[in-house]
Amino acid sequence: MSNGISKKYSGIALVAAFAMGMAISGEAAAKDKVKVGFIGPLTGGVSVNGIGGRNSADLAVRLRNKDPKAKYEYELVVQDDECKPNIGVQAATKVAADRKVIGAVTHYCSAVAIAAVDTYHKFGLPVVVWGAVLPDITYGNTYKEVHRVNGTMINQNQTAAKFMRSLGYETWAVIHDTTDYGKGHNKYYSENLAKEGGKILATFGVTSDQQDFTAELTKIKELNPDVIYFGGLTPIGVRVRSQMEKLGIKAVFQGTSGIVSDAFVEGTGKLAEGVVAFREGAPTENLPGGQFFLEKYQAEKYDSPPEAYGAFSFAAMNLVLDAIEQVGPNRKKVRDVLNKTSGRDSIVGEISFDDHGQNTVALITKYVIQDGKWTVWEDSDYAAGKRKLVGQK
């Protein structure tokens, strides 16, 4: 009898315990932890861009975690790719192999991104590229996992060639790094410049850690071009620009999106004046959600600026988070949602992915450095005719 009672009670206790357990786990289920990844160059020559991107992705995650309507609690897994393809593949494998990571925002450096896309495909991890501009990252494969919010270097170089020709320049010398990034820029710029009727006098491929450019530059001085086109990233851009000065070369220094960073201005100092470069998308403060983004960024007190691609990283992370919110933490489903992205509103403007997961960014912004600041060409003294680039007509 007493046995029966105790059984009965224990039954009730069990039910109660179960119910309580449900309540606890129910609450936990409302805020299940989901991991999302970020990969970018956090050390090395372009680390300012990587850290800006990391902070921006982190901002997206923090804002989402503060949102009471969010279904999950997100944890950002950060990896450093050092802008080196071999390290990048390791970082990609690490993130992709963690089954708890549902999506990731990856890569500033094209050479790294192109090396890592196979990894994402193999592991089935949906990623959104936030800064790398090499066309082949999206167009060189049919991987459903790979998407990109920023534009490619094709559009950038079209605009660049057209614009520079319109300023009356005739001849160019090209220096590019021999990574996929630099080679891509060289290819697309040369093609577009030929169409516009400009002439390239010589092309120099250089390694991405080269220190001395005096031999190449002396050769260029001999050829005396109007413009030196540089296809590469900030660190060697700084070196080329300052060594130009040492050899007394007066040509215009024309860069690509790879040098649009405050680090370039800081590294070249006074020599930065009159350097031109091109980047897809509008400057952050002119973006539809730019002010909102910058305000939130400021409020979180990150110790370095978002840099040129921070807004893209933020938008990319939001895409991933939205997809997870919509279909839950499932890589395949998230991938499919991302693939269908069309006309999505974001702080960088409308995002639509084509068959290859490539966002169509029509706008290319022309920049010139004026008084130590990257200034939109149309707003600059150069466009107004108050100042002139070397040899500008």
Partner 1 sequence: MDIGFLAQYLMNGLMLGMMYALVAVGFTLFFGVLDVIKFSHGDVLTVGAFTALATYLGLEQIGVTDPATQILVMVIVSTVLIGGLGAVIARTVILPLRSAPPLNTLLITLMLGTVLREAVRLFYPEGGNPKPFPALLPTDSVTFGNFNLRLDNVLMFGAGVLVIVGTQWMLNRTKLGLAIRAVAQDEETAKTMGINFNLIVFITFALGSALAAFAGVMNGLYYNEINFGMGLLLGVIGFSAAIVGGMGNLYGAILGGFLFAALQTIGAVALPFASAYKDVFAFAVVIAIMAWRPTGLIQEKVSDRV
Q: Residue 219 or residue 393: which is nearer to partner 1 going by CB?
A: 219
47 counts as binding partner 1 under rule CB under 8 A: yes
| Selected range binding partner 1 among 15-23, 36-44, 109-117, 319-327, rule: CB under 8 A | 36-44
Place of tokens 């001999």: 222
Q: In what order do the strands lie in the sheet with 171-177?
A: 199-206, 171-177, 227-231, 252-254, 276-280, 364-370, 373-376
238 counts as binding partner 1 under rule CB under 8 A: yes
209 counts as binding partner 1 under rule CB under 8 A: yes
239 counts as binding partner 1 under rule CB under 8 A: yes
Q: Output the CA angle 58-182-216, nearest 5 degrees.
A: 130
Site string for partner 1, 268-307 (x = CB under 8 A): -x--------------------------------------
Q: What's the 3-state SS for 75-121?
A: EEEEEECCCCHHHHHHHHHHHHHCCCEEEEEECCCHHHHHHHHHHHH
215 counts as binding partner 1 under rule CB under 8 A: yes
Helix axes 47-66, 310-327, angle to 10 degrees: 40
194: number of Cβ within 10 Å: 12
Q: Identify which of 154, 228, 165 has the alpha carbon closest to the alpha carbon of residue 196.
A: 165
Supply 16's token pair: 């109660």
Find the binding residues for partner 1 in span 174-203 (CB under 8 A).
178, 203
Q: Residue 26 or residue 248: which is nearer to partner 1 going by CB?
A: 248
248 counts as binding partner 1 under rule CB under 8 A: yes
The CA distance from 358 to 344, in Å, is 13
Among 7, 33, 100, 246, the residue binding partner 1 under the rule CB under 8 A is 246
Place of tokens 């091109």: 278
| Selected range binding partner 1 among 155-163, 232-240, 287-295, 349-357, rule: CB under 8 A | 232-240
The three-class DSSP label of residue 247 is coil
Distance from the Cα of residue 323 to its chain's centroid:
20
| Selected range binding partner 1 among 135-143, 207-215, 357-365, 381-389, rule: CB under 8 A | 207-215
| Selected range binding partner 1 among 17-25, 60-68, 234-242, 363-371, rule: CB under 8 A | 234-242
Q: Least separation, in Å, of the C-beta of 52 and partner 1?
A: 13
Residues in the chain: 393
204 counts as binding partner 1 under rule CB under 8 A: yes
Phi-psi region of 82 (alpha: psi -120 to 50; beta: other; left: phi over 0): left
Q: Least separation, in Å, of the C-beta of 240 and partner 1?
A: 11
Site string for partner 1, 251-270 (x = CB under 8 A): ------------x--xx-x-
Burial class (CB in 10 A: 0-12, 13-18, 19+), 118: middle
Among 163, 170, 205, 383, the residue binding partner 1 under the rule CB under 8 A is 205
Using CB under 8 A, list all residues that contact partner 1.
42-45, 47-48, 178, 203-207, 209, 211-212, 214-216, 218-219, 221-222, 235, 238-239, 242-243, 246-248, 263, 266-267, 269
